Structure formats: structure tokens, C-alpha cells
Amino acid sequence: MLFMVIERFRDADMVPIYARIREAGRMLPDGLEFVDSWVEPNFARCFQLMRCDDARKLQEWILQWRGYGISFEIIPVVPSAETRAVVEAKAEPDSA
């Protein structure tokens, strides 16, 4: 499954997070894959796309970031192409 992880940084301060990543890496447990990320220009939020089959892996990963001024929102997502296939399979044929 894919998850959009929205990280919010206290006081828009990403420096402690980047320092920890530089020192220890992303610290992903086995079974959790980092896909890509995007950061707002004001440094307030980061949007990370993550992949795993067990949401407990996300919980395990998040617990490693306690005390760094970061909060997480986790949203399950489905790729657009897969959604389109589901919708098209249920769409009624054109009756024209």
C-alpha cells in the first residue's frame, strides 16, 4: 500500500530533521520503503510517499522521530492509474 505522510515541523524548522537524516539516515524499518518527498517552500511541511504492507511499520518509524519537533499525518493513497481502472470497470457503457 502507498501512504502520503505529511510531516509538520515545529516553527518551520527542518534543520534538526535534516541533521538527524545526515547522521543516521531515514531509519526505515524492514518492510517500509521511502518513494519520494516534496517540501513546501516555507519549510513548514514535507510530503513523503511511503510504501508498506503493514501500517505498523509506519508507526515503528514515526516513534523513532519523537522529540524532534515533528508531527505526522498518514493518509492511505491509491495511484491515479489504478483508480481510473476501478472507475472505468464500473462505468456504464455509453448508451448513445
| All structural domains of the chain with their residue ranges | 2-90
Task: Using 70 as the pLDDT threshold, list the residues of the chain that sit under it.
Answer: 92, 94-96
pLDDT of residue 94: 64
Give the global pTM.
0.83
| Cα–Cα distance, 61 to 75 (Å, whole number) | 15
Burial of 88 (0-12, 13-18, 19+ CB in 10 A): exposed
pLDDT of residue 37: 96
Q: Does residue 35 come out as left (phi exceeding 0), alpha (psi in the -120 to 50 range) or beta?
A: alpha
Domain spanning 2-90, CATH class: alpha beta
**Chain-centre distance of CA 88, in angstroms?**
27
pLDDT of residue 80: 92
